Amino acid sequence: MSEGEMAIIKPEMMKSYIWLETADGSIQQVEQEVAMYCPMICQEVLQKGVGSSKNYAISLPQRVNPAMLSLIFDYCRFHHVPGRSNKERKIYDEKFIRMDTKRLCELTSAADSLQLKPLVDLTSRALARIIEGKTPEEIREIFHLPDDLTEEEKLEPLKNTMDDPRIRLLNRLYAKKRKELKEREKLKSVEVEEHVDERSVDDLLSFINGRDHKVVKTSKSKKKNKKRKEQKNGTSMGICETSEKDLKHNLHSKSRNAENVDKTASSLGDVSNLLSMEDDIFTPKTEFEDGYIDDEIDPALKEMLDREVEDFARRLNSSWVLSIGQERQPVHFSINGNGATRRLTGPAAGHK
Amino acid sequence: MDRINGLPDEVLVKILTFLPTKKAVSTSILSKRWEFLWMWLPRLDYFIYITKLGTKPVIREFIEKTLPLHRAPVLECLRIGLSPTFEPKDFIRWIDIAVSRHVRELEISYVTKYGNLFPSSFFTCKSLVVLKLRLLVLRDVPSMASLPSLKTLLLQKVYFVNEELLQELLSICPVLEDLSVECAEDEDMDEFTISVPSLQRLSLSIPYDWFLEGFEIDTPSLTYLKLHDWNEWDHYSLIKNMPKLREAYVIVKPFLLNSVINSITSVKRLTICSEDVYCDGFVFNQLEHLKLCGCQEESSNLLGQFLKDSPKLRVLDISVEGFHGDNCDGMVCWNQPSLVPECLLSSLQIFNWSQYSGRPQERDIAVYILKNARHLKKATILADTDEHGVSNLQMIKELTLSP
């Protein structure tokens, strides 16, 4: 029979067929309703009008070989029938999927190129099941994966995300944000420290005026230890020596200033320098207390010292806002025996 | 292509979606091709990780490091459940990232009563459809907040800093359909309101020891109500009209019973556990399926009342709810109705009794129903032989012997 005659006879037959050509050149024909279950084939037939005869066979993607094609059509032949129950389909699928890993991969590839999503889902699930119970070595072996990551990459799997420039930028932005947040936290804790210092000075003075030295010493040392611990932890919670309101108010205003600092900081390095400086500022203060107690200073001096402390705190904040970005020397705050204060400041301090 | 590496990226990622997150992440060490594939996963499930006290919270650092770099442009689902060993501010970052990736489902479990977990971006998330929160604290709802797509909300033992917050949260969800609130045990609210015009399903569970004044439910579109209120303090319940209610599951104390019954007379299906009988005057015109908990002495009277008030009852289930455990006396005082209930005569078709004990009173009830239900098609009586030591066979004999 010539092909022309075949073409004439076909419409009279109950079944119509679609012609398909795989990459290796071999041509198959499949019942139309079965083939049309594959979106890719469906598209070719409807949009380009091909597949109706041997001469106009649909060229299938390279990833589809004749063996896989036949498997896929078995699948389609079962599933395109609308009357089947879900249970039936499930049972069929479970049986269908039983094949060796190599064929499973081939089938997944072929189904994917034909855009047959339900089959891709089915095979993917099966492959996932294979992966699930296995160690990495086993998985590599089953799937012939090259073990091409360095030991370092395996331990720190995300180092190489730097390859992508977007990822790099994202990383940098993120690191910056993280630093900012950290600094803000540090600031809060440092500021709280400072406030505690002021308070404990008051307390200490009241002790001096009305209580035993010994009592003073132990309570002071307790407070010192507590402060030291808090400095280490860097947390701003749990400090209950001051009244809550005062603390919050202070923190609020200071954190606002701190935010300004962050915003105007040209480089984060400067800010962190300032912070470490803050720590230095406040450790000498504990020594200051020591000296203070031992010297038994009178109330008038106490007031002056209190004012100094507050003043200093205020100025520190405002100076940050004004002079951020400039080089700053560490500022030391110390007191000599007779109570006069003396400051060693750097060139750009802007104090007094 | 017969190798798995021959498959395109989308297919490999699809395979990873069928794996638990932990396993999918571990594929990053398989080979170069697989190193970052998991970062395209649309669903991330870090649920639940309990970090032992004193040990380093590795999972926190992992999420911290990888979440910002996650490559999937849309994060469909993020589930994080962590033990409370780190600061809440981590969550602010993570939730912010999820919101920026158009998250649809967000599930957070984290025990904290302090700190704020939610960035401001969370309260204006347009993509969020499902939200599940457990054990955490809700401090406030910002004024311009809106969750326009939220349909399902689960609040399990969430601590509300003030009582109005619950309703404030609900009022920013214009299309909310499914709400489940399990109130936190030791965080009392005096009064609260649940008013959601769009709500279709509501499940509310109130702890027994709250000093509760009362609550109000205003959900005109509701079709399903589960109310588990075993609170011992005499409180009020203001349940506004629910004309569309079809199914209810009610466990309430006697002082609430009448007001609750009043609101649920239109249901088709009802499951109820109550220590007392409700008063006369209610009719369940559409009740077809009744499941009664036979745990109390009074349950038999409750049964009688229901039979009387439900002319169209088709299915009757008598059982004992699981949460009662073993402390049930079972129905003891059965007062045989003077008039045979309408439903027995005309509509009851299926009768089930699980945990039947064979005691004389229960036998009387069973016999009465079996005898009078003219249209009964199927009766299943499962005996609790371990408990009462009466053999199955003997009980069946007794039942069949009675006239």
Does the domain made of A3-132 have the CATH classification 3.30.70.890? no
A:B CB pairs within 8 Å: 95
- Comparing alpha-carbon positions, the chain A residue that sits nearest to B20 is A132
Structure tokens at A172: 């940098």
Among residues A155, A154, A170, A164, the alpha carbon closest in space to that of B69 is found at A170
Q: Where are the domains of chain A?
A: 3-132, 151-350
- What are the b/e assignments for A238-259, b being 16+ CB within 10 Å? ebeebeeeebeebbeebbebbe
Report helix angle A101-113 to A66-79, nearest 10. 70
| Cβ B159 vs Cβ B182: under 8 Å | no
Q: Does residue B213 fall inside a structural domain?
A: no
Query: pLDDT for A280-314, tens place per residue?
Result: 333 333 333 333 333 444 566 556 655 655 555 55
What pLDDT shows up at residue A8? 52
Cα–Cα distances (Å) from A135 to A172, A189, B27, in that order, read 34, 46, 10
The pLDDT value given to residue B173: 94
Contact B43, B74 (CB under 8 A): no
Distance between the two ends of chain B, CA-based, in angstroms?
77
Q: What is the ipTM of this complex?
A: 0.75
Residue A255 clears pLDDT 80, i.e. is over it:
no
In a domain, B261, yes or no: no
Interface of chain A toward chain B, CB-CB under 8 angstroms:
63, 101-103, 105-106, 108-109, 112, 120-121, 124-125, 127-129, 131-132, 136, 139-140, 143-149, 153-154, 157-158, 160-161, 167, 170-171, 174, 181
Domain count, chain B: 2
**B195 domain residue, yes or no:** no
Give the Cα separation of B233 and B212 in Å (integer): 6
Tell me: the pLDDT tens digits for A101-152?
Answer: 999 999 999 999 999 999 999 999 999 999 998 888 898 888 888 888 777 6
Q: Does any domain span residue B315?
A: yes
Is the whole-model pTM more than 0.80? Answer: no
**Which of B158, B176, B194 is where one domain is finished?**
B176
Q: What is the mean pLDDT of residues A65-88?
A: 91
Structural domain including B165 reads: 42-176
B217 membership: H or E segment, kind and range: strand B214-218
Please indicate whether, in this complex, the C-beta atoms of B35 and A157 are within 8 angstroms of each other: yes
Token pair in block for residue B18: 């069928």
Higher pLDDT, A233 or B355: B355
Rounded-to-integer distance, Cα A167 and Cα B43, Å: 20
- B14, B20, B68 member nearest A170 (Cβ): B68
- What's the gap in Å between the CA of B69 and the closest CA on chain A? 7
Q: Which residues in chain B are closer than 8 Å to A112, comparing Cβ atoms?
A: 7-8, 11
Query: Has residue B35 been placed in a domain?
Result: no
Classified as helix, coil or strand, A350 is coil
Domain-embedded: residue B7: no
For chain B, how many helices (H) and strands (E)? 11, 19
Chain B contacts of A167, Cβ < 8 Å? 69
In B, which residues are within 8 Å of A105 by CB distance? Answer: 1-4, 6-7
Q: Quick check: is B283 in a domain?
A: yes
Cα of B88 to nearest chain A Cα, Å: 13
Q: Which residues contact A26 (CB under 8 A, 6 or more apart)?
A: A66
pLDDT in tens, A87-98: 999 999 999 999
At A335, the pLDDT band (50, 70, 90 cuts) reads: very low
Q: Which among B176, B202, B232 is the end of a domain?
A: B176
Higher pLDDT, B268 or A327: B268
Instruction: Among B126, B154, B176, identify where a domain stops.
Output: B176
Q: Which residue ranges in chain B fall short of pLDDT 70?
A: 1-2, 85-86, 325-327, 329, 358, 384-403
Taking an 8 Å cut-off on Cβ atoms, the answer to whether A140 and B69 are in contact is no
Helices marked H in B137-224 = 164-171
CA separation for the pair B103, B97 (Å, rounded): 9
Q: Hey, is B39 helix, strand or coil?
A: helix
